[in-house]
Chain A
Amino acid sequence: MDNAQKTGNGDVCPSKKGKLELAEVREKLSEARGPRYWRTLDELAQTPEFEEMLHREFPRHASEWTDTSSRRDFMKIMGASLALAGLSACTKQPLEAIVPYVKQPNNMVPGKPLFYATAMPLGAYGTGLLVESHEGRPTKIEGNPQHPSSLGGTDVFTQASVLGMYDPDRMQANSYIGETRSWPDVLNTLRGVARAAKTNGGAGIRVLSGATSSPSFAAQMQDFLKVYPGAKWYQWEAVNRDTLYAGMQIAFGQTVEPVYDFSKARIVLSLDGDFLSSGFPGFHKYARQFAQRRRPELKEEMLRFYAVESSPTNTSAKADHRIHVKASEVEGFARALTSELGIVQHWYGGEFHPEHKRFASALAKDLLKHKGEVIVIAGDAQTPATHALVASINAALGAVGKTVNYIEPIDANAGVPKVEQLKQLVAEMKSDKVEMLLLLDVNPLYDAPSDVDFLGAMNRVPLRINLGLYNDETAKYCHWQLNGTHYLEQWGDTRSFDGTVSFIQPLIAPLYNGHSASELIEFLTNQDEATSYALTQRYWKTKYSGSDFGAWWNRSLHDGFVMNSAAPVKTVSASPAQPPLQKMDTPGGIEIIFRRDATTYDGRFANNGWLQETPKPMTQVCWDNPLLMSVNTGKKLGIKTEDEVLVQLNGRQVKAAVWLTPGHPDDAVTLTLGYGREQAGRVGTGIGFNAYKLRTSDAMTFAGGVKLTKTGVHFGLASPQGHQSMEGRAIVRAATLEEFIKTPGFAHEMVEAPAEGLTMYKPYEYKDHKWGMAIDLNSCIGCKTCTVACQSENNIAVVGKEQVKRGRHMNWLRVDNYHEGTPDNPNTYFQPVPCQQCENAPCEIVCPVGATAHSSEGLNDMVYNRCVGTRYCSNNCPYKVRRFNFLLFSDFDTPQLKLQRNPDVSVRSRGVMEKCTYCVQRITHARINAEEQNRKVRDGEVLTACQQACPADAIVFGDLNDPESRVSKLKSMQRNYGLLEDLNTRPRTTYMAAVRNPNPELES
Chain B
Amino acid sequence: MEHAPETKSSETMERLLPGQSPVLLPGHTLETITDKIVSIVLRRPVTLGWVGGFAFFFGLLNLMLLAMAWLFIRGTGIWGINVPVGWGFAIVNFVWWVGIGHAGTLISAILLLVKQGWRNSINRFAEAMTLFAVACAGVFPLIHTGRPWLAYWLFPYPNTMGVWPQFRSPLLWDVFAVSTYATISALFWFVGLLPDLATFRDAATNPVAKRIYGLLAMGWRGSARHWKRYESAYVLLAGLAAPLVLSVHTVVSFDFAISIIPGWHTTVFPPYFVAGAIYSGFAMVLVLAIPIRHFYGVQDMMTMRHLDNAAKVMLGTGLIVAYGYSMEAFYAYYSGSLYEWFVLKNRMMGPLAWSYWCLIIFNVLIPQVLWIRKVRLYPPALFCTSVVILFGMWLERFVIVVTSLHRDFLPSSWGMYVATKWDYMTYLGTLGLFFCAMFLFIRLMPMITIFEMRLLVPQSKLSEEAAHD
Which residues of the other chain, B, contact A911 by a CB distance below 8 angstroms?
A: 75-76, 145-147
The stretch of B161-169, B240-248, B300-308, B384-392 in contact with A is B161-169
Contact status A867-B412, CB under 8 Å: no
Q: Specify the chain B residue showing the minimal Cβ separation from A886.
A: B77
Which residues of the other chain, A, contact B260 by a CB distance below 8 angstroms?
A: 842, 876, 878, 983
Contact status A806-B80, CB under 8 Å: yes
Q: Specify the chain B residue showing the minimal Cβ separation from A807.
A: B82
Contact status A721-B412, CB under 8 Å: yes
The stretch of B40-48, B113-121, B413-421 in contact with A is B413-421
Minimal beta-carbon separation of B274 from chain A (angstroms): 22
With beta carbons under 8 angstroms apart, the residue of A807, A869, A872 that contacts B76 is A869
Is A729 located at the chain interface by the 8 A CB criterion? yes
In the complex, what distance in Å separates the CA atom of A296 from the CA atom of B407? 34
Contact status B163-A876, CB under 8 Å: no
The stretch of A16-24, A327-335, A844-852 in contact with B is A844-852
Contact status A846-B86, CB under 8 Å: no
Minimal beta-carbon separation of A733 from chain B (angstroms): 14
Known contacts A833-B412, A878-B409, A868 near B86 by CB under 8 Å:
no
Minimal beta-carbon separation of A886 from chain B (angstroms): 3
Is B184 located at the chain interface by the 8 A CB criterion? no
In the complex, what distance in Å separates the CA atom of A886 from the CA atom of B79? 9
For B154, B171, B255, B411, which residue has the most chain A Cβ atoms within 10 angstroms? B411
In the complex, what distance in Å separates the CA atom of A833 from the CA atom of B84? 15
Minimal beta-carbon separation of A204 from chain B (angstroms): 57
Is B369 located at the chain interface by the 8 A CB criterion? no
Contact status B83-A874, CB under 8 Å: yes
Contact status A848-B175, CB under 8 Å: yes
Known contacts A807-B416, A912-B147, A847 near B166 by CB under 8 Å:
yes
Is B144 located at the chain interface by the 8 A CB criterion? yes
Contact status B146-A727, CB under 8 Å: no
In the complex, what distance in Å separates the CA atom of A721 from the CA atom of B84? 11
Known contacts A721-B412, A878-B410, A871 near B86 by CB under 8 Å:
yes
Q: Specify the chain A residue showing the minimal Cβ separation from B409.
A: A878
Binary interface encoding of chain A residues 711-748 relative to chain B, with 1 for a CB under 8 A from any of its CBs, else 0:
00000000001111111110100000000000000000
Per the 8 Å Cβ criterion, residues 135-170 of B in contact with A are 144-147, 150-151, 153-154, 163-166, 168-170
Contact status A724-B412, CB under 8 Å: yes
Q: Specify the chain A residue showing the minimal Cβ separation from B171.
A: A848
In the complex, what distance in Å separates the CA atom of A842 from the CA atom of B172? 16
Known contacts A880-B84, A882-B83, A725 near B169 by CB under 8 Å:
no
Which residues of the other chain, A, contact B83 by a CB distance below 8 angstroms?
A: 807-808, 874, 880, 882-884
Tally chain B residues at the interface, Cβ within 8 Å.
Answer: 49
Contact status A888-B75, CB under 8 Å: yes
Tally chain A residues at the interface, Cβ within 8 Å.
Answer: 54
Which residues of the other chain, A, contact B411 by a CB distance below 8 angstroms?
A: 723-727, 729, 731, 818
In the complex, what distance in Å separates the CA atom of A265 from the CA atom of B153? 61
Is B405 located at the chain interface by the 8 A CB criterion? yes
Q: Specify the chain B residue showing the minimal Cβ separation from A721.
A: B412
Which residues of the other chain, B, contact A570 by a CB distance below 8 angstroms?
A: none
Minimal beta-carbon separation of B163 from chain A (angstroms): 7
Contact status B76-A886, CB under 8 Å: yes
Is B81 located at the chain interface by the 8 A CB criterion? yes
Contact status B169-A871, CB under 8 Å: no
Which residues of the other chain, B, contact A324 by a CB distance below 8 angstroms?
A: none
Minimal beta-carbon separation of B344 from chain A (angstroms): 14
Is B340 located at the chain interface by the 8 A CB criterion? no
Is B408 located at the chain interface by the 8 A CB criterion? yes
Is B85 located at the chain interface by the 8 A CB criterion? yes
In the complex, what distance in Å separates the CA atom of A806 from the CA atom of B260? 24
Minimal beta-carbon separation of A117 from chain B (angstroms): 37
Minimal beta-carbon separation of A556 from chain B (angstroms): 44
In the complex, what distance in Å separates the CA atom of A910 from the CA atom of B85? 18
In the complex, what distance in Å separates the CA atom of A670 from the CA atom of B324? 51
Which residues of the other chain, A, contact B205 by a CB distance below 8 angstroms?
A: none
In the complex, what distance in Å separates the CA atom of A980 from the CA atom of B262? 13
Contact status A875-B153, CB under 8 Å: no
Contact status A885-B153, CB under 8 Å: no
Is B258 located at the chain interface by the 8 A CB criterion? yes
Minimal beta-carbon separation of A989 from chain B (angstroms): 13
Is A274 located at the chain interface by the 8 A CB criterion? no
Minimal beta-carbon separation of B256 from chain A (angstroms): 9
A–B pairs, 9, beta carbons within 8 Å: A729-B338, A808-B77, A816-B412, A818-B412, A846-B168, A848-B166, A875-B86, A876-B260, A913-B146
The 10 tightest CB contacts between A and B, nearest first, are A869-B146, A911-B146, A886-B77, A807-B82, A871-B86, A887-B77, A880-B413, A816-B412, A850-B166, A911-B147
> Which A residues have a C-beta under 8 Å from some C-beta of B?
721-729, 731, 803, 806-808, 814, 816-818, 831, 833, 842, 845-850, 866-872, 874-876, 878-880, 882-888, 910-913, 979-980, 983
Given contacts A807-B82, A808-B77, A875-B261, could you give 13 more A-B pairs where the C-beta distance is less than 8 Å?
A729-B409, A807-B83, A842-B260, A845-B168, A845-B169, A849-B166, A868-B146, A886-B81, A886-B146, A910-B75, A911-B147, A912-B147, A913-B146
